[in-house]
Amino acid sequence: MSSALAWWTVILAVGALNYLSRLSFIAVFARIDIPPVVARALGFVPAAMLTAIVLPSIVFVAPATLQFSYTNPKLVAALVAALVAWRTQSVVGTMVAGMITLWIAQWLLRVMH
């Protein structure tokens, strides 16, 4: 598949699918009978998928290189950010706290070495 065709296929398909997801219940607010097990499974999608997306960018410092220690600034920043997210439920607060912690941790790491 040519590059432009691949890009536009993805853009249009994901654009349409995202829009349909957003519209889904807003358009069809009448009750749909989803099998209970599917409904329960859907309930775990955010926790499972978001963890799967977030974790690698925190614990991998390089491809295939795990680092679970305080010398990984991203891990330290993520822990502080998670605490802020838990206490405040604020997206912006979480981002600000995480970035500031990341910069401080990176700076400390440079100063100590």
Partner 1 sequence: MSRIFSRPDFLAGARDMVPTLLGILPFGLVCGVGAQSAGASVLESIGLSALMFSGAAQILATQLLAAGAPVAVTILTCFVVGLRFLMYSAAMAPHLKALPTRWRHALAFVLTDQSFAATIRRFRESEDPRNGASYFLGTGALLWGVWQAACLAGYWAGNLIPVAWSLDFVVPLCFLALLVPTLEDHSSRIAALAAGIAVVLFDALPMRLSLTCAGLVGIAAGLIAARRRSAR
The residues of the shown chain that bind partner 1, judged by CB under 8 A, are 1, 3-4, 6-15, 17-19, 21-27, 29, 37, 40-60, 64, 66, 74, 77-78, 81-82, 85-86, 89-96, 98-99, 102-103, 106
Q: How far is the CB of 107 from partner 1 (least distance, A)?
A: 10
Q: Which residue's structure tokens are 């614990």?
A: 59
Nearer to partner 1, 92 or 112 (CB): 92
Nearer to partner 1, 2 or 112 (CB): 2
Contacts of 92 (CB under 8 A, 6+ apart): none
Nearer to partner 1, 85 or 108 (CB): 85
Contacts of 85 (CB under 8 A, 6+ apart): 93, 94
Q: Is residue 12 packed enough to be buried (19+ CB in 10 Å), middle (13-18) or exposed (0-12)? A: exposed
3-state secondary structure at position 66: strand
Q: How far is the CB of 77 from partner 1 (least distance, A)?
A: 7
Q: How far is the CB of 58 from partner 1 (least distance, A)?
A: 6
